[in-house]
Structure 1
């Protein structure tokens, strides 16, 4: 029986201290819970950092000053051995929302004084009860939309504050049966190998049905949105995505884990592609662009049922010459 209690408790202790900290205390928390060679990866405009004081001053202190009375509303929590290094490392995944009152400007976004949520997903690599690496991916355009800013007028699917799993059972504070975790890893790996290169000769909906339930839910990022059922997913995301983008690379996953019915991965970047067909209202071009992504999955039976997706839309648009945050500052 696999035992992830030490790794899970490491992250839960970090969250308890971080969520209670303010100002310089945030730096102290990061120093206490991370290794000397800590690596922190985040979405634009924060990117890759290796100094906890920078992480504190660049992200956490301004964010907590802007979003007062903040609290963590966690929907998913699980751990696993990393498939990408044959189980040599253990990672803990958390997903949910950071909620508070948007009382001061953040990233040039004007405050509303209202309850606002930052949708997030996180992977932590644990070494000797310390956090050695973090991938902290968050949906800033989703935050912007709640503040009344519409950065993506061509969004094809639904704009929602996104809930956790239908089953409400994804907070795996106790370790799950590893047999279930292997089934979930197998389902995720089959989907990645089957769909990952967009090379099937099957019609798109038939291709998707090989690894997804017909009533799947795809909780996508603002700019694309959330969509329900294979047919609507094909129409509102997968079809336009494939039509707009070409020359997709293989996956560049750093971590891929599963526990119980839940799994996920992240990369830096996950893949590259070219916007040769025009995507999300952008004009076509031949520039190769990175896609930074976290995917979280829920398996039901032998297929995937729900998928929460975090894509660095700001970074993708910056590579296309469009600064979404600068546009927000101008409004």
Structure 2
């Protein structure tokens, strides 16, 4: 079956004139946003008001992981996100692993994967502290306009934090838990790619692979063995490196090579979400930058939770939406690594599993 080619971006933004910037401008934008976030983290609570005023639009739109969720306004951003973060982790540090920049349609955007590391001193979002160092997987997309951030998307893996406190409130992960690796054999943060064709090819490869996922052999068979074989030999296999790693969120875990990806995530996911639309609303971010690319959707996936295969919980055919980002590293002509933050606590809540209630004593 051929891979269909279609626009995967936000549907209501069709026809928007594409903004073009030079590689030098892109590198400067990445440096600028990195500097903003570094200054905020290092400045802490004492300089928070000034830093937020300097770097964020007063009406900034913010889209966060559950339970922070969606809101507008710089002051609300301070109260709901930054203050709880600094109070819980007073010695917090930010260590970047990947920084990707570019434009999507009429927007200048910078995405990143980083680790927020600090001593867990006070409760945050109902999670009790352990007075030990913890690491927060943090993935972000920021839109830059007139030298200020006007919209932010932030996914922090709270399940991973919960696991680090010694609690395991949900069904066991099929994949491997733990910190995500840095990109293999390269710097994912400070690179500069002058050849725009390299960046365009990276994004084209990831988007074509994603479109191939619309080919659904799970609709034709109920046998796990047969479905696994069809997924291993699926058109997606053309795009994945033989030594690929799929870095999933806590609760799903990481899988190595295509078979590990299929076993740990894709096969049970496809069986549970046979009724799904990857681009019901579309991506708000699609960037190619050197040998990296990324896409992101805020409720871009809408699906019916149709079985207990994926997360292990009983199905009542609940309708769910998903907050997802995908960061890709392209190596030796294929996709070598894929970092995938998913707001799993948000998904679980939609099927009646309130993780933050489960960890209450």
Name the TM tier (shorter chain).
Answer: over 0.9
What is the rounded CA distance, in whole Å, between the counterparts of 1:304 and 1:67 in structure 2? 35
Aligned to 1:35: 57
- Residue 110 (structure 1) shift: 1.8
How big is each residue's C-alpha offset from its partner over 1:103-132, in whole Å with a ceiling of 9 and x where there is no partner?
112222221111101101111111121111
Residue 175 of structure 1 deviates from its aligned partner by 4.5
1:21-53 deviation digits (Å, cap 9, x = unpaired): 333632331221122431111110011121111
Match of 2:306 among 253, 263, 276: 276
Q: How many residues align?
A: 326
- Give the distance between the partners of 1:68 and 1:26, measured in 2 at CA: 13
Structure 1 distance, partners of 2:83, 2:215, is: 40
3-state SS of 1:96 partner: strand
Q: How far apart in 2 are the matches of 1:261 and 1:109?
A: 37
Conserved 8 A contact 1:184-1:259: yes
Q: Distance in 2 between matches of 1:96 and 1:167?
A: 18
Is it true that 1:248 corresponds to 2:276 in the alignment? Answer: yes
Q: Name the SS of the counterpart of 1:224 in structure 2.
A: coil
Alignment of 1:1-331 (within 5 A): 1-3=22-24, 4-23=26-45, 25-82=47-104, 85=105, 88-172=106-190, 174-196=192-214, 198=216, 203-207=230-234, 208-251=236-279, 252-278=282-308, 279-330=310-361
Is the 8 Å Cα contact of residues 217 and 231 (structure 2) preserved in structure 1? Answer: no
Secondary structure of 1:292's partner?
A: strand
TM-score norm. by structure 2 comes to: 0.86
> How far did residue 143 of structure 1 move?
1.0
Query: Can you list the C-alpha shifts for 1:234-265, whole angstroms capped at 9, x where unaligned?
Result: 11110011111121113221011010111111
Contact 2:115 2:135 in 1 (8 A): yes
Quote the offset at 1:173 in angstroms.
5.3
Q: What is the TM-score normalised by the length of structure 1?
A: 0.93
What is the alpha-carbon distance in structure 1 between the residues aligned to residue 314 and residue 204 of structure 2?
Answer: 38
- Do the aligned residues in 1 keep the contact of 2:272 with 2:306 (CA within 8 Å)? yes
Q: What is the Cα-based RMSD across aligned positions, in Å?
A: 1.8
Residues 261-270 or 8-17, more deviating: 8-17
Gap change, CA 1:64 and 1:173, over 3 Å in 2: farther
Unaligned 5+ runs, structure 2: 1-21, 221-228
How many angstroms apart in 1 are the aligned matches of 2:91 and 2:194? 33
